[in-house]
A and B are shown apart, each in its own frame.
Chain A
């Protein structure tokens, strides 16, 4: 199963990466094993988002920068509004990084 390393940049991914780094530097963990854990995280996170998350979000905002490189879209929005269920979030500047979903299904 193909996976994205994309989600390693999320909070949960960064927490895992920091933990693994620490343990590898301590000598508690072999780097190869740490890498296996990360790959497993990629799979588990993708599965969880597919199967357990049902919510829908709408995003509006001023597109400051767009970039499409290596099948990854990057948008930088200004004054963006996120509507999520009944709550709404406003941010002055947000970055959206999106991989091509078709790469996973292949």
Chain B
């Protein structure tokens, strides 16, 4: 509660302000006396609500009838319960009937009806969540890759039903698209005879003695593929040297080996793991996340197994996003904590200072004309002296 003197001073300040702005309100095309009354009434009502004015306000003179106009808002703010409770119950009942409408059977009801009440954030959570993260990948999947081996979409690709909901599927398609264009090429090579392949290599190799790039960015991959080469396609193994393009071809030859009945000797299990697409990803992703490798070690060779890998890949990317480099936002967090604390305590002194001195860690200050809001009380002071220990 307010001390009586504070309340008195506040009331006098309100009256003083109202009286001194009255001219502006009434004359010069101002909004008029009624608006001024409304201002005063609402202001006082808020003050009573805040507990810094002890109501009822005793008027010292003419403004007393003026309160009549403002009586309604004052009353509303202080005694809101009786009136509103009567209205609240039917209002709540009015609000409830839409609920059965909101939950029809998904099959029978119009989907738009179903979506409107729940809102986009509730119902299509998987879609909306993934659309942000998977959108780029989705586009990527659609645009495809400018691979030299790119060919018109194979019938096998068009057979796949459209997948649009789950990011895992989108990623999986992305994954598959990477392999798909190569597949016919791979099969073409397979139909070729071993002799023909030798000629091809020779033609690339001998003219001018130019050796296509072998030590570029593809080195890491080539290790994998060379293992495949020696293990899987024995017909090519004798050459020993591969162009980058041929490495890819060989990779896909080898990859297709996992699907084609085994004809040229046993393939060891670890070799299978190397061949499967998700595990090739593992080789790249292992740098970032060991857990990911552990989780995907038993990934099988069949194509749906490609889905977990990109999901984890996303996680890795998000982890990177979660820890941006230090910037000014890091400081803001601390400030916010401070502000929250200050707002929670809400103890505030507003004053003017005459003098502030310090002797070592002892601070002395003399303040005047202050308003203190402490422990939910408003206290006014004419003078204050402070002694603080830093």
Contact = CB atoms under 8 A, between A and B. Distances in A.
Interface of A: 4, 6-7, 9-12, 15-16, 18-20, 22-23, 28-30, 33, 36-37, 40-41, 43-50, 52-63, 66, 68, 73, 75-77, 80, 82, 84, 89, 91-101, 104
A64 B40 CA distance: 39
B54 interface: no
Contacts of B381: 53, 55-57, 84
Interface string B355-377: 01000000101011111111101
A89 B381 CA distance: 14
Contacts of A99: 351-353
B349 A97 contact: yes
B319 interface: no
Given A45-B13, A97-B349, A54 B379 contact: no
Contacts of B315: none
A100 B39 contact: no
A48 B16 contact: yes
Contacts of B30: 33
Which A-B residue pairs are the 5 nearest by beta carbons?
A63-B388, A15-B46, A101-B352, A98-B353, A94-B347
Interface string B325-361: 0000000000000000110010111111110100000
A73 B353 contact: yes
A76 B383 CA distance: 19
Residue from A19, A41, A98 having most chain B Cβ neighbours under 10 A: A98
Contacts of A92: 345
Interface in B1-58: 5, 8-10, 12-14, 16-17, 20-21, 24-25, 30-31, 35, 38-39, 42-43, 46-47, 50, 52
Given A84-B379, A98-B352, 14 more contacts: A4-B352, A11-B378, A12-B378, A15-B46, A45-B371, A52-B12, A53-B5, A53-B382, A54-B382, A55-B381, A61-B386, A63-B363, A89-B377, A99-B351
A81 B298 CA distance: 67
A44 B13 CA distance: 6
A23 B5 CA distance: 29
7 contacts: A6-B350, A18-B46, A29-B35, A33-B24, A48-B12, A59-B349, A73-B356
Interface residues of B, number: 61
A20 B25 CA distance: 13
A84 B345 CA distance: 20
A33 to B, nearest CB: 6
Consensus secondary structure, chain A interface = mixed
Given A28-B38, A56-B381, A57-B383, A98 B5 contact: no
A54 B368 CA distance: 10
Residue from B13, B14, B380, B387 having most chain A Cβ neighbours under 10 A: B13
Given A36-B24, A52-B9, A98-B365, A77 B388 contact: yes
A103 to B, nearest CB: 8
B384 interface: yes
Contact of A33 (B31, B43, B345, B353): B31
A59 B39 CA distance: 36
A102 to B, nearest CB: 8
B81 interface: no
Contacts of B367: 59, 96, 98
Contacts of A61: 386, 388-389
Nearest to A77: B388
B111 interface: no
Nearest to A50: B369
A10 B353 contact: no
B351 A96 contact: yes
B314 interface: no
A41 B13 contact: yes
A20 B43 CA distance: 9
Interface in B177-194: none
Residue from A30, A84, A93, A96 having most chain B Cβ neighbours under 10 A: A96
Contacts of A80: 347
Contacts of B235: none
